[in-house]
Amino acid sequence: MSKRQSSNELRDRIEAWRKDAAGLNYEEAMQALDLLLAELQNDSVPLAELQQRVLHGEVYLNRCQTLLDSVEQSIVELDPTTLEATNNA
């Protein structure tokens, strides 16, 4: 496999990881990150996969950071009688 092919493949893989991570909430992304960290710290990852695992971990890390940087809080107000959402919020 040529160097260029390998580089394209890695880029595609990172893109797929990003898409997967985008569906995770903060807690899920953090759990995935911690799992990867534990693997990295106990030397169970084959050397050849080391760099990819780190890149995968950074994808989860970025997902957490993006969520933390969000400033819009979702607030829904319910009608106290019907308990259906009102338009006040």
Q: How far apart are CA 51 and CA 69, in angstroms?
A: 27
The answer to whether residue 14 forms part of the interface with another protein (CB under 8 A) is: no
Q: How far apart are CA 58 and CA 50, in angstroms?
A: 13
3-state secondary structure of 63: helix
Q: How far apart are CA 80 and CA 32, in angstroms?
A: 39
Among 1, 5, 71, 87, binds another protein (CB under 8 A): 71
Q: How far apart are CA 36 and CA 64, in angstroms?
A: 14
- Closest to another protein by CB, 8 or 77: 77
The answer to whether residue 27 forms part of the interface with another protein (CB under 8 A) is: yes
The answer to whether residue 41 forms part of the interface with another protein (CB under 8 A) is: yes
The answer to whether residue 24 forms part of the interface with another protein (CB under 8 A) is: no
By CB under 8 A, name the binding residues for another protein: 25-27, 33-34, 36-37, 40-41, 43, 45, 47, 50-51, 54, 57-58, 61, 64-65, 67-68, 70-78, 80, 83, 88-89
